[in-house]
Amino acid sequence: MKRFIRYFKRSFSLDLRSFAITRFLLGILLLFDFGTRLTLLSEHYGSQSTLPLTLLRSTRGLSHQFSVFFQNDSQNFILLLFGIGIVITFLFTIGFKTRLMNILLWIFIVSLHNRNPLVLQGGDTVIRMMLFWGIFLPLGEIWSFDWYLKRRKAPIESTLGSYAYFSVGSVAFILQLIFIYLFTALLKSGNQWYPDGTAIYYALEIDQFLKPFGSLLLHVKTLLKPLTLFVWGLELFGWAFYFSPVWRPNLKTITVTAFILLHIGIGFSMAIGLFPWLMCVYWIALLPASVWKPLDRYIYRIEERLFKSAKPPKQKKNFNKLKSVWAIIDPLRTASYSIFLLIVLIVVLLWNINSVNPNLVIPEPISKAVEYVRIDQVWDMFAPYPLVNDGWYVVVGTYADGSKKDLFQHNDNVDWNKPKWVYKTYRNQRERKYMMNLVANYNAVYRRGYADYLCKHSPDSGKLNKVEMYFMQEYTLPDYAVPSANTVLLVSQTCLH
């Protein structure tokens, strides 16, 4: 039993140095995301946007959600909230009052996501869950402003050799990562994944995602089937190598590296927002101590310069033999805290099982609580199979003098031909997600909001008489067959001035 407990602790322990890098990179990605959102602030947020608060309230109801953005819909108030969110994110990134900033940042992110669900992607769920579990982890224990201040006020022996951390929080953080891959693999039930092995072909045929590197990959025909089966198998079983009882440090490193390389490949092949880069950052948190050991002597030298009075580690002369110990540093690691986290983890597991097996009924009070704090999740990326219907937008504006312009591409001439790179027709991935959501019939109620916005805010909007929103729809055919595009009118709106 003692041997199993030791194995379990080693398997679910995390290195504080990896935590620190993850915190920093997550903060950088969030700051980048806020910058992206700000470029389309007037379109996606506020009373004059494509989704004013009145429309959101009438279509979705807001009683089961919370958001500081629900308090006021003016542009000035929204800009103020974004400013506060950016400051909080910066402080979280540098590790100042880290746990408090983590909590505030989680509240801000949930509020932001609830304000406009039409621009959300799979990566946003990853962000919410990383921040949620991060509340219960010592993300700022080292290599942070908190750490710097603590060391300056009360110099202590170098922290080398005391980087390992284990708690219910670390178990939950790791299992959450496993849930993403295990349940997305289980949801990929289409024959395109197995046994046909054509899923990557269909995924790379989605024009709104396809990048130049993905286009090159798409035409290496002999590679697509084995690559499809490898990706599916890696998601389904690959994470298990991280827990191998033999050759432990090396297999942990290999597993982390394999998944990071997978997501780098996805990020360079397809324009799917922050998701692949967030997953790389998530995996960095799982880097074992063995990765950092070659850097120990350099870390000590940096610490020595920062903290002149810091005592050298006892094993200074033999850095390769420094051993990790269980770091007792987290005041939240109490029995009640552990029981609470364990209950939340079980609920999250049941929620994921429900996504695969809807026959598992989750009681309504629990379901409402999960949705309220936004730990709800469905990992259905390219599941049960990749999209087979795709296309591009043509938005025709008719002016008082009879002239027509493409309001989406901001062209004086309306061009119905397929762009060379469809993903480049969107200003950023938030706009792409918003526009692709409008194609779905269950979001038809929001199309008029987009047309109204164009009527009011397009160039020479005072002379604009009519907005017609078309989607040039294609259905992916097997074996590289070229499909024909169908012209689908999504909305026709007369502009009232």
Do residues 159 and 327 lie in contact, with contact meaning Cβ atoms separated by under 8 Å?
no
Instruction: Output b/e per residue, 15-40; b: 16+ Cβ within 10 A.
Output: bbbbbbbbbbbbbebbbebbebbbeb
CA angle 333, 341, 354 (to 5 degrees): 165
Residue reference for tokens 């389904």: 236
Instruction: Output b/e per residue, 205-238; b: 16+ Cβ within 10 A.
Output: bbbbbbbeebeebbeeeeebbebbbbbbebbbeb
Q: How far apart are CA 425 and CA 419, in angstroms?
A: 8
Instruction: Quick: pLDDT tens for 397-417.
Output: 999 999 999 999 888 899 999
* Type of residue found at 428: N
Q: How far apart are CA 380 and CA 121, in angstroms?
A: 11
Classify residue 211 as left (phi > 0), alpha (psi -120 to 50) or beta.
beta
Q: Is 71 exposed, middle or buried (0-12, 13-18, 19+ CB in 10 A)?
A: exposed
- Which residue ranges make up each domain of the chain? 2-372, 389-494
pLDDT for position 333: 57
Do residues 112 and 44 lie in contact, with contact meaning Cβ atoms separated by under 8 Å?
no
**Confidence band (pLDDT; 50, 70, 90) for 308?**
low
For the chain, the straight-line distance linking the first and the last C-alpha, in angstroms and rounded, comes to 76
Do residues 438 and 450 lie in contact, with contact meaning Cβ atoms separated by under 8 Å?
yes
In the predicted model, is pLDDT for residue 309 greater than 70?
A: no
pLDDT for position 488: 96
Q: Give the residue-averaged pLDDT of 74-87.
A: 97
Q: How far apart are CA 229 and CA 188, in angstroms?
A: 12
Instruction: Quick: pLDDT tens for 465-486.
Output: 999 999 999 999 999 999 999 9
The H or E element containing residue 407 is: none
Give the β-pairing of 389-399 and 464-475: antiparallel
pLDDT for position 461: 73
Tokens of 180: 């993403």
Alpha helices in 195-334 (DSSP H): 199-204, 212-218, 221-237, 248-269, 275-284, 289-292, 296-306
Q: pTM for the complete prediction?
A: 0.92
Candidate from 85-99, 294-308, 372-386 with smallest mean pLDDT: 294-308
Tokens of 368: 């409402």
Instruction: Quick: pLDDT tens for 216-244.
Output: 999 999 999 999 999 999 999 999 999 99
Q: Please give the radius of gyration of the chain, using alpha carbons only, rounded to the nearest integer.
A: 25
